[in-house]
Chains A and B, each alone.
Chain A
Amino acid sequence: MSLDATYTREIPLVEGRTSFKEIDDVIAKPTETKPSIKWFIAIGISSTALLIGAVCLGLTFWYGVGLWGNNQPVGWAFDIINFVFWIGIGHAGTLISAILFLFRQKWRTGIARFAEGMTIFAVMTAGIFPAIHTGRPWLDGYLVPYPNQHGLWVNFTSPLLWDVFAVSTYFTVSFVFWYIGLIPDFATLRDRTTSGIKKAIYTALSLGWRGSNRHWQHYERVYLILAGLSTPLVLSVHTIVSFDFAVSVIPGWHTTIFPPYFVAGAIFSGFGMVSTVLIIVRKVFDMEHIITINTLDKMNKILLATGTMVGYAYAMEFFIAWYSGNPIEQFTFINRAFGPYSWAYWIMFSCNVFFPQLFWFKKIRRNIPITFVLVLLVNVGMWFERYVIIVTSLTRDYLPSSWGMYFPTMYDFGILLGSFGLFFTLVLLFAKTMPVVAMSEVKAVTEGAQPKHKHE
């Protein structure tokens, strides 16, 4: 056995022999110091985008959804595209925090907290879209089954109602999972801070956590069970989102491949967004040795795997369309690739399938600028995937007499911009006020953190 030692040795998760104190110092720094000018520029840009979105939304409330490009035959457009896009972004956070936790992938510790936060913000952003899609969002209370004076109940056989339950459960459980993870770190911040108001806030949030092993014992068990619950939950959420399409009879939507295809796409797009944000954050907050290049390397491998899965789904859709012998289905897919929206299709295909294949090369996986460009392309590609699925199927369905093109308006773009503004504003506020890396988890995986005489 003459294996090269570098293949068998575990790469340290935290670079260098960092002491616990140094970990705390680095991670708590943004919460303890005045933000840099870079941070103010960033939040200025993101809140401007948010404001533009809010104005477009206000105008939409005033004049009605007629301001949008949605019209027969395309009743679902930017609103639903953005909803599916943002929900998908959220999935990576749960994958990193729950599924990789169950698989004992310790490299997740550096990015888990951030990814969980992004999940929550992405689901919040996503939740806006179905609400405004109803046209009169102040009547959305009707989506919930509650005893009312009309004597009505909601339609439990509709995938749109399943969505209501899935998304709200997903948000609640992600939030609980996130908060449970934050308690020990809030306690650390509570015991570090010297400012009275911060002390009060962290005292309230940390609930008097002491790091007692009698607590850790139950805490770890609950964390494990919550990870176990979140794993099927995250798979169910995008499955149910895909049911919104698959349960209908529109050509190109009514297929059984949709649930796995959507879940793979969601994780793919989510990792794209997590990488995008992390590359910036580790630079801005000097966390290069906690969010290491090895972590980014591993994330790029997941991007490669999920991107290839998505590519397989694209190919399989074409194969099944041909194999089914259904001429309408066949037309739909030829129309997607070569019809009036072929530009969108090829943007999607190249960004999601061709470019991520570059991650086969180790040099590219470990090259930050190239990775950054590629993950941005993934974000673009996954947005266009939803555009292609929704718009091409709706513009040309069974009856050629009812075909029509879809043209978004400036309000559609404004609200899309606003959704990015909301997401990044929340991310920036989070990075400023809370520990963006799970201190207690990172400490537990540094070298020498666990007793030597006990084997793992």
Chain B
Amino acid sequence: MIGKILKKFDDRFLKSEPRTGDLYAVAALFDTPDEIIHAAEKVSGSGYKRFDVLTPYPVHGMDGAMNLKPSNIGWVGLIAGMSGTSLAFLMIWWMVGVNYPNIFGGKPFFNLPASIPIMFELTVLLSALTLAGSLIAIYMKLPSNANPLMDTEFIKRVTSDKFGIYIEAKDPKFNKDEVEAMFKQLGSSSVSFIHEAVYEVGDTKNPLLNTKFLGALIGSSVITVVITYLVLNVLLFLPPFNWMHYQAKVLPQSESKFFKDGWSMRRPVEGTVARGFIPYEFAGMPDSMVVPTPNPLPVNQKVLDLGKKRYDTYCSPCHGFYGKGDSRLRGQFPVPPTLHSEKVMNWKDANIYHVITNGQNTMPSYASSISRDDRWAIIHYLRVLQRSQNAPDSDLEIK
């Protein structure tokens, strides 16, 4: 059933009809290498330019008979090979000498002797690939399945056991009858006229449009895509490929099965003090008890930059970027009063420090999240904010 449908499709699109297009070339077949050499000499000697000799294997002396220039493709290989050498050299030198220097066995970071094997391999690799690619695509101009010679009786013989020569109709000296007579006189066993194919639907005869072939191509590409997807997204997350994902460790937000209290981290010994977090001496005391100490940090760009960074991170969500109490939390949390009030402006640095460390009203303590120096830096930055947001008119006067 399916076979019948496919057959119908193939018949429709792959109909082989006699070609009716313009004359493309006159072609002749010869039986022996000596005859073809002679014919090639005669044709090139008569001044024809657009001709070609087709043989099942390279015939010695044909280049001379056809009057061809020697192939210069060797230069392509040489240049590609030398690029391979230098690219490999630069790659290794940059990777191990510059980008990721490591000591292996006390040798220099980049050492030439150890790089030679790879330099050699890449020379060969680049040279061979460039040669093959340029041979096919540039020198032979393949693939070219649309050539009118394809699928003629002529080409079927020259890829097997005969020697063929043809002269294109586009050749300036071309004359159909003259060429035919010349080939016959040279002793050709068969002279044929090759016509261009006319491309119309139902008339094309492209062997690549075979349904089975196309089906196999599409099928295999779909299978490849599906398999690649499954391997990368499913298989690699199944055992045994995921066994490194499971390790004997406690993940965040999970309970320890080892300790009775369920905590995976042990609490530090009573009285332990973390680095940079010396306990605050006025912790829990009212504001009035604070003994004002001056801000220990100098005022400079570095401190102010740090203060801005910390302020923007920790303070600005509620107090706003300019300290005006313009919370960014859209009313999800009580809005604090402005930091530009008389009270805060007149506060000593130590008072602000006390509030940050101790918390006030609904504001919690930030002692555990902002280090001491950072808190002092925030205060310097807050002073900058207060000064800049409350600029007096006198700032505009020219002094």
Contacts and interface: CB of A to CB of B under 8 A. Distances in A.
Contacts of B240: 61-64
Contacts of B96: 153, 155-157
A236 interface: yes
Contact of A229 (B54, B124, B140, B147): B124
Contacts of A233: 121, 124
A320 B236 CA distance: 50
B60 A200 contact: no
Interface string B37-62: 10010000000000011111111111
Given A208-B145, A216-B62, A218-B71, A180 B56 contact: no
A212 interface: yes
B392 interface: no
B212 interface: yes
B73 A222 contact: yes
Contact of B68 (A154, A197, A200, A214): A214
Interface in A195-237: 196-197, 199-201, 203-204, 207-222, 225-226, 229-230, 232-233, 236
A24 B160 contact: yes
Contacts of A453: 34, 37
B56 A451 contact: no
Given A165-B121, A213-B66, A217-B71, A145 B147 contact: no
Interface in B74-132: 74, 77, 81, 91-92, 95-96, 99-100, 102, 104-105, 107, 111, 114-115, 117-118, 120-122, 124-125, 127-129, 131-132
Contacts of A184: 56-57, 159
Interface stretch (B149-157, B178-186, B251-259, B371-379): B149-157
B77 to A, nearest CB: 5
A176 B68 contact: no
A191 B67 CA distance: 29
B37 A454 contact: yes
B63 A217 contact: yes
Contact of B140 (A172, A177, A200, A219): A219
B131 A213 contact: no
A452 interface: yes
A134 interface: no
Interface residues of A, number: 81
A450 B59 contact: yes
A157 B57 contact: no
Interface stretch (A45-53, A83-91, A310-318, A438-446): A438-446
B385 interface: no
B117 A236 contact: yes
A217 B102 CA distance: 50
Given A192-B160, A201-B213, A226-B131, A451 B100 contact: no
Nearest to A58: B240
Interface-central residue, A151, A157, A184, A196, by most chain B CB under 10 Å = A157
Contact of B60 (A62, A158, A188, A454): A454
Which of the listed residues B95, B121, B144 has the most CB atoms from chain A within 10 Å of its own CB?
B121
A204 B220 CA distance: 16
A440 B57 contact: yes
Q: Which among B58, B68, B107, B122 has the highest number of chain A CB atoms within 10 Å?
A: B58
A196 B207 contact: yes
A373 interface: no
Nearest to B66: A213
Contact of B57 (A199, A441, A452): A441
Interface in B183-219: 207-210, 212-214, 216
Contacts of A450: 33, 59-60
A100 interface: no
A215 B71 contact: no
Nearest to B92: A156
A240 interface: yes
Interface residues of B, number: 81
Contacts, number: 235
B121 A211 contact: no
A187 B95 contact: no
Contact of B161 (A19, A204, A444): A19
Nearest to B145: A208
Interface centre among A180, A229, A240, by most B CB within 10 Å? Answer: A229
A328 interface: no
B236 A138 contact: yes
Contacts of A152: 100
A173 interface: yes
A221 B71 contact: yes
B144 A208 contact: yes
Contacts of B58: 213, 216-217, 219-220, 440, 444
B349 interface: no
Interface string B3-42: 0000000100010000000000000000011100100100
A236 B146 CA distance: 42
A37 B114 CA distance: 53
13 contacts: A62-B239, A157-B104, A166-B117, A169-B122, A173-B128, A177-B128, A203-B145, A207-B145, A208-B145, A213-B55, A222-B132, A233-B124, A451-B33
8 closest A-B pairs by CB = A200-B213, A20-B161, A454-B61, A444-B57, A207-B143, A200-B210, A207-B142, A153-B95
Given A213-B54, A440-B58, 16 more contacts: A21-B161, A155-B102, A156-B114, A157-B105, A169-B124, A172-B125, A176-B132, A180-B132, A201-B213, A210-B149, A210-B150, A211-B55, A213-B66, A214-B66, A441-B57, A444-B57
